[in-house]
Chain A
Amino acid sequence: MCVDDFSGLDATYDHVPCAILVTNAAGMILRVNKMFCEWTGYDAAQLIGQRKLQELLSVGGRMFHQTHWLPLLEMQRSVSELKIEFKRPEGGTVAMVLNAVRHRHEGVDFDVVSAFVLAERNRFEQELLIAKRQAEQTLQEHLAVQHELSVTDTRLRVALESAQLYVWDLDPQTMTPRYDNGVALLLGMDAPLPISGALYANFIEPADRDLEAEAFSLALNGKGAEYRCIYRLNGADGTQRTVVSTGRSVFKPDGQLLRFVGVLHDISEVGRQKALAEDRALFAEQMMGIVSHDLRNPLQVISMASERLGSSEMQTKQSALVGHVRDAGLRAQRLVEDLLDFAQARVGKGIAVTPAYIDLHKTLESAVEALRIVYPKRSIVFEMRGERDGYVDADRLTQLVGNLVSNAMAYGAQSSHVTVSASRGNAGFTVAVHNCGVPIPSELIETVFAPMTRGTDAGQSARSVGLGLFIVSEITKAHRGQIKVSSSSAAGTTFTASFPAPS
């Protein structure tokens, strides 16, 4: 190689404001001008023939040199504007931007490199980099927030849609309402559309307009008062919808309206379902009432006729048959009464009671007396402790005792007697009906007061359809009382109804 071919370069370029190096293809420094030595802090003698250019670079710079600079120079024989850091002999680095061209001279490759120091620009670039990184970070954060927002927004939209809620607000400048496009659906249109305040107002049922306007102006002027109004919308599709419109205004400290956000909720379906259910209940109640009532009359005729027949002279066999007819008639009458009460309790508004101060002893005694006639072959014991007066619906109390006794007759031991005991204290009074015999199975105790529940050993003619105990519990409930049952083979079965004293 002929280094002297570049000897003129030293003299010419020593003082140009640009660093110039000449290296061989392996990077060995063959020539270097003063400017390069000044900027990097090396002596020319330390470099020429001693050091390869890449050995002056930082580790990162060397790797960059290997992976980018050399391939570029090999492939296209020139590189430009590479920014790279040189290590200074006394420590620290100096950043330079380099251009390099590969020349072939007499079959040998030389690289000519020019470089400029980038002190100021480097600082500027560092600042730019920092700013870029900050911007990227901010962007990332912004994107994350935006993503979260969109997720929340989607979730909210799904929730609003599934709840059939539509959002609207008030333009604080013009004080006109702005509606979600979905509101168009509420107005009976096929697809979501922008809806103006004026257009929306046209759909409000004329009869409801004043009401709505009043509620709205109250909310705006009433400083934070909540707006809530139910009105009807006459849809473009001919369907009338009922909506609940609610909203809240937020005011600035100076009293100016900041925003007003409202929600529309289509309750037509809710209202329709409720009305339907009420209709059905009413129909069932009426049906049962009518049937029960109409049955009462023929039953009364049967009872009265058999009563009359019983009083006339008759053969023993005939009079026994008439007795059966009378008993059956009475039982059917009781069933009809039960059914009426059930209808009232279940589909109506509950069993009606009219409590009054009565002579408990007298009422219960006559109830038991009447039951003794119904069950002539069985013994019914009546006992009472405490004061005689009580606050209760006398007819209902008689019915309650009747139901409990007939239950005891049906399920208790045939041989033992049934006891009706009453006790009057300060807190009210209790009436208990006890019978001996097989106890109520524990799995039935829980449901014994539910309607249509029957004991296990069916087969006796005295069974009802299972409404008796349900009506007992409804009667105590109507008196704000309680009904309890305890049953065991040792103690027998006791139903205890307690009636509180009037408050």
Chain B
Amino acid sequence: MSVQTRNNVKSSGSGPLTMVFAHGFGCDQNMWRWIEPSFSSGYQTILFDLVGCGKSDISAYDVDKYSTLDGYASDVIDVIDHFANGPVVFIGHSVSAMIGAIAANRRPGLVSAHVMIGPSPSYINEGTYPGGFSRDDIDSLLTTLENNYLGWSSAMAPVIMGSPDQPELAIELTNSFCQTDPEIAKRFARVTFLSDNREDVAKLSAPVLILQSTDDFIAPVPVGEYLAEVVPVNRLEIINNSGHCLHLSQPQACIASIQRFISSDVDR
């Protein structure tokens, strides 16, 4: 099976840099639709779906391989190897920021710069580390996910209830967006919320831009501050926003930050 089919890879544009966008837990590459077009005019942009999400090839889902973020990192390496033409800026949302870190550490030189949107290296509080959640909280999330399974397919591929002011949203989009096999979603949630990548982020050598929301339930400000302390080369930007999906709710602020970062911190 080709990497293209497996990860539903979409490459566009060209330029001195290759920007690889990796979506987080919950949805798929459509998450980037407010951001990616701003870059495809000046750079090569690569969008893809993690296996088990969006329009990736579900038959490629291997329970063992994807029982750790390492399996997803291998796929990222494949995607970059097959499609990237220039130095790579890896833009990862949430868990994908960590997948990018693992991939970069496994292959020095793979990633020239990281943009982490709402990243968290570990969700569970431990000692002085402020992950934000207890183990019970994470179990509660897993239960919530499980309880939604009965109506999962309809809930995750909702009918369009009408949004007259945004007619450009296609039916095709709503049908695939956030549509996930319940069993895979449950496993992915477990991997995402139980993994601890604090050692991985401390080993990064490429410059990192951390985009942190002022109010993010999933990745609270202390987590962003922790990253700013341990990541060797980084720039922390706190954006006034409520919610975990900065790139959806504050796309313009994200674009501006990324452009600033590229022009000042990224070698071409």
Contacts and interface: CB of A to CB of B under 8 A. Distances in A.
A101 B158 CA distance: 12
Nearest to A104: B165
Given A58-B144, A80-B161, 7 more contacts: A26-B243, A60-B140, A60-B142, A68-B26, A74-B249, A77-B166, A83-B150
5 contacts: A66-B216, A68-B156, A76-B169, A78-B160, A80-B159
Contacts of B41: none
B161 A71 contact: no
Contact of B218 (A25, A63, A82): A63
Counting chain B CB atoms within 10 Å of each CB, the highest count among A59, A61, A103 belongs to: A59
Interface of A: 25-27, 52, 54, 58-68, 70-72, 74-85, 95, 97, 99, 101-104, 125, 128-129
A60 B218 contact: no
B169 A64 contact: no
B31 interface: yes
A80 B155 contact: yes
B161 A101 contact: yes
Secondary structure class of chain B's binding surface, majority of residues = loop
Contact of B145 (A54, A60, A65, A77): A60
Contact of B245 (A74, A95, A103): A74
Interface of B: 24-27, 30-31, 33, 94, 133, 136-137, 139-151, 154-156, 158-163, 165-166, 169, 173-174, 177-178, 193, 216-218, 242-245, 248-249
B6 to A, nearest CB: 23
Given A59-B137, A64-B148, A78-B163, A71 B31 contact: yes
Contacts of A63: 137, 141, 144, 193, 217-218
B242 A27 contact: yes
A448 to B, nearest CB: 66
B244 A83 contact: no
Closest 10 CB pairs of A and B: A60-B144, A77-B163, A60-B140, A67-B26, A78-B161, A60-B141, A74-B248, A80-B158, A59-B137, A66-B244
A26 B31 CA distance: 18
Given A75-B169, A101-B162, A82 B155 contact: yes
Contacts of A79: 155, 158
Contact of B242 (A26, A59, A72): A26
Contacts of A60: 137, 139-145
A62 to B, nearest CB: 5
A125 to B, nearest CB: 5
A99 B161 contact: yes
A58 B133 CA distance: 12
A80 B245 contact: no
Contacts of A125: 147, 150
A67 B244 contact: yes
Given A71-B178, A74-B245, A66 B145 contact: no
Contacts of B25: 67
Given A70-B245, A80-B159, A75 B217 contact: no
A71 B150 contact: no
Given A68-B156, A129-B150, A76 B144 contact: no
A84 B156 CA distance: 13
Contacts of B160: 76, 78
A80 B144 contact: no
A83 B147 contact: yes
Given A26-B242, A67-B24, A81-B154, A76 B140 contact: no
Contacts of A129: 146-147, 149-150
A42 B150 CA distance: 28
B248 A71 contact: yes
Nearest to B134: A59
Given A77-B166, A78-B160, A81-B155, A66 B178 contact: no
B223 to A, nearest CB: 14
B253 to A, nearest CB: 14
Nearest to A136: B183
A175 to B, nearest CB: 49
A54 B243 CA distance: 10
Contact of A78 (B33, B146, B158): B158
A66 B161 contact: no
Contacts of A27: 242
Given A66-B217, A77-B169, A78-B163, A72 B245 contact: no
A76 B151 contact: no
A59 B249 CA distance: 22
B141 A102 contact: no
A433 B165 CA distance: 124
Nearest to A121: B150
Contacts of A104: 165
A130 to B, nearest CB: 11
Nearest to A109: B165
Nearest to A82: B155
A359 to B, nearest CB: 90
Contacts of A68: 26-27, 156, 178
Nearest to A74: B248
Contacts of B156: 68
Given A60-B145, A70-B245, A125-B150, A76 B158 contact: yes
B151 A81 contact: yes
A59 B140 contact: yes
A65 B145 CA distance: 11
A311 B205 CA distance: 119
A50 to B, nearest CB: 16
Contacts of B147: 83, 85, 95, 125, 129
A20 to B, nearest CB: 15
Contacts of B143: 60
Nearest to A83: B148
